Homo-oligomer: A and B are copies of this chain.
């Protein structure tokens, strides 16, 4: 996508329609700017020229005999319409909405999803004017800040998720944390289901966990990062953030789709710690090939708002995303959104979901960068030798992959890796 004007917002879509492509897309551009379903008195040519969305490009990509989604209309004259697929690029003047992420959503991802002219409509990408970068802070820590806080350089951060996800008491969570940090883990996160329920209150959990981590850091000079899930109402999130910071913690986690962009931005402006961004609920945007949003577009919104770590799923995950899509998401997180020193909003991708030592070589090969968090829950804590062995096995797998050594070969002299390969066969 080529940026044509610095004062316009660009969004590309994949669409399917039985109507003439240009007509249907003109309705979409109208609905999302100055038009409605019929001409109204004040809609002058001059107004349309100034405020209307502009169709920049249409490229037909294929067709289908049947509509991909129900409810779409077809021209009345056609008994067996062709449902054409196309990619289109649409632009809006920044003057319509200004550099506002919430209002951007209403413009590029609002009513258009419901238009009956389309039997499929997905947002593929967005390109934003520099004014958005001026209005939003972007990530505060990103890759460099996360490495600085953890002291891990030149290799991925080996991470894990507290499992069982829910059900452990604060004291049990601290005990598990003790095992993990003793085992050499770099990064631990709460499960997204564990926030501040009455059965495991946040303040008690954070206090118990940070006592373990502080003691470990005092002894070893190395402080593993624990991402505490502060998801909640705004006052709760700020209060929990402040508690984590006061306890010497180095990361907070938020469920993006639970909190929304303005609450996230509000937290970011208050925040003194990296924000680990969890995308649970993402399936709503991604599962259907015919409606929704690509992660390429989605992750830009949150990076600009200030996420430091973005979840991208993992290779051969327990969900249903294909490996090439996972790798594309991860690469996108490292691609600058804006030009200029410190303006790119690059973030650290988090590989997670059904990960074990098995996926390490392909992850390294596919990404070609060690700038990631590689998080495994069951794939690490269920190691037959215990969590410490699980951590060691994961580090051994990454050493091998980055040195170009076959895992089975490396396992001959690394018993924890061998056990992991047997367990996660």
Q: Is the CB of B288 within 8 A of A293?
A: no
Query: Which chain A residues (73-112) contact chain B, with CB distance < 8 Å?
Result: 73, 93-98, 100-103, 105-107, 109-112
Q: Is the CB of A32 within 8 A of B193?
A: yes
Tell me, in angstroms, the Cα distance from A288 to B285 when the chains sit together.
11
Tell me the smallest distance from the CB of A237 to a CB of chain B, in Å: 7
Q: Is the CB of B233 within 8 A of A102?
A: yes
Chain B residues lying within 8 Å of A260, measured Cβ to Cβ, are 258-264
Chain B residues lying within 8 Å of A386, measured Cβ to Cβ, are 41
Task: Indicate which residue in B50, B109, B167, B197 contacts A47 across the interface (CB closer than 8 Å).
Answer: B167
Tell me, in angstroms, the Cα distance from A224 to B326 when the chains sit together.
52
Q: Is the CB of A103 within 8 A of B231?
A: yes
Chain B residues lying within 8 Å of A334, measured Cβ to Cβ, are none
Which of A207-215, A362-370, A374-382, A393-401 lies at the interface with chain B?
A374-382
Q: Is the CB of A287 within 8 A of B291?
A: yes
Query: Which chain A residues (137-175) contact chain B, with CB distance < 8 Å?
Result: 163-168, 172
A43 nearest in chain B by CB position: B164
Task: Confirm or deny: A196 has a beta carbon within 8 angstroms of a beta carbon on chain B.
Answer: yes
Tell me, in angstroms, the Cα distance from A280 to B165 when the chains sit together.
34
Known contacts A163-B40, A198-B94, A377-B40; is-contact A33 B193 (Cβ 8 Å) = yes
Q: Within the oligomer, what is the number of copies of this chain?
A: 2
Tell me the smallest distance from the CB of A394 to a CB of chain B, in Å: 15
Task: Confirm or deny: A415 has a beta carbon within 8 angstroms of a beta carbon on chain B.
Answer: no
Q: Is the CB of B166 within 8 A of A51?
A: yes
Chain B residues lying within 8 Å of A319, measured Cβ to Cβ, are 111, 114-116
Tell me the smallest distance from the CB of A32 to a CB of chain B, in Å: 7
Interface string of A232-266 (1 = CB under 8 A from B): 11111100000000000000000101111111111
Query: Which chain A residues (259-289) contact chain B, with CB distance < 8 Å?
Result: 259-266, 280-289
Q: Is the CB of A98 within 8 A of B198?
A: yes
Chain B residues lying within 8 Å of A292, measured Cβ to Cβ, are 284
Chain B residues lying within 8 Å of A97, measured Cβ to Cβ, are 193, 195-197
Task: Indicate which residue in B33, B163, B164, B284 contacts A109 across the interface (CB closer than 8 Å).
Answer: B284
Tell me, in angstroms, the Cα distance from A98 to B195 when the chains sit together.
9
Tell me the smallest distance from the CB of A281 to a CB of chain B, in Å: 5
Q: Is the CB of B192 within 8 A of A110?
A: yes
Q: Is the CB of A71 within 8 A of B321?
A: yes
Q: Is the CB of B51 within 8 A of A199?
A: yes
Known contacts A116-B319, A257-B105, A291-B284; is-contact A95 B198 (Cβ 8 Å) = yes
Chain B residues lying within 8 Å of A283, measured Cβ to Cβ, are 111-115, 121, 291
Chain B residues lying within 8 Å of A196, measured Cβ to Cβ, are 97-98, 100, 103
Q: Is the CB of B321 within 8 A of A167?
A: no
Task: Indicate which residue in B103, B113, B116, B377 contacts A36 across the interface (CB closer than 8 Å).
Answer: B377
Tell me, in angstroms, the Cα distance from A216 to B58 when the chains sit together.
48
Q: Is the CB of B98 within 8 A of A197?
A: yes
Q: Is the CB of B166 within 8 A of A34?
A: yes
Task: Indicate which residue in B115, B192, B320 contacts A116 across the interface (CB closer than 8 Å).
Answer: B320
Chain B residues lying within 8 Å of A265, measured Cβ to Cβ, are 233-234
A354 nearest in chain B by CB position: B37
Q: Is the CB of A287 within 8 A of B71?
A: yes
Tell me, in angstroms, the Cα distance from A172 to B40 when the chains sit together.
14
Tell me the smallest distance from the CB of A29 to a CB of chain B, in Å: 12
Closest 7 CB pairs of A and B: A260-B260, A113-B283, A71-B320, A51-B167, A114-B319, A110-B280, A114-B283
Given contacts A35-B165, A259-B262, 12 further A-B contacts (CB under 8 A): A33-B193, A37-B354, A96-B197, A105-B257, A105-B281, A109-B284, A111-B280, A111-B319, A113-B284, A114-B283, A233-B265, A260-B262
6 contacts between A and B (CB under 8 A): A95-B197, A102-B258, A234-B265, A258-B262, A260-B260, A260-B263
